Amino acid sequence: MKKTILLVDDEEHILRLLQFVLRPIDAHLRVSKTGMEALDFLEQNSAAVVLLDYSLPGMNGLDTLQRIRGLKEGGSIKVIMLTARDQTAIRAEAEGLNVEAFLTKPFSPSDLARRVRELV
């Protein structure tokens, strides 16, 4: 059974890049543009990996991650946080919520694909 990778970003060009980079991985790719959309999806569906942008409209990535961890199956979801900001406080809080990786934009597509493959 194919696993699901949920891509959460509000920038269309980043979503297209993520889909292109991750297409070779044998998984279903799903897209959400807000934290609330991601949570709605995860309440009804499972995901092996979530690529989660920090800067989202409304609820930011850390708030979304905290709510993901509160879901029934949220502790088993692997999360990679993406951000254009390389702030120590954001990184520390994400690590405190058991994020598997923290990548600063611009990121290496091959590094991202490798990390996702390891988690799927």
pLDDT confidence band for 94 (50 / 70 / 90): confident
- What is the tens place of the pLDDT at every residue in 26-60? 999 999 999 999 999 999 999 999 999 999 999 99
Give percent above pLDDT 70 in the chain: 99
For tokens 């990535």, what's the residue?
A: 61
pTM of the full predicted structure?
Answer: 0.93
d(CA 37, CA 70): 16
- Residues spanned by the domain of 68: 3-119
- The phi-psi region of residue 24 (left if phi > 0; otherwise alpha if psi is between -120 and 50; otherwise beta) is alpha
State how far the Cα of 42 lies from the Cα of 47, in Å rounded to an integer. Answer: 7
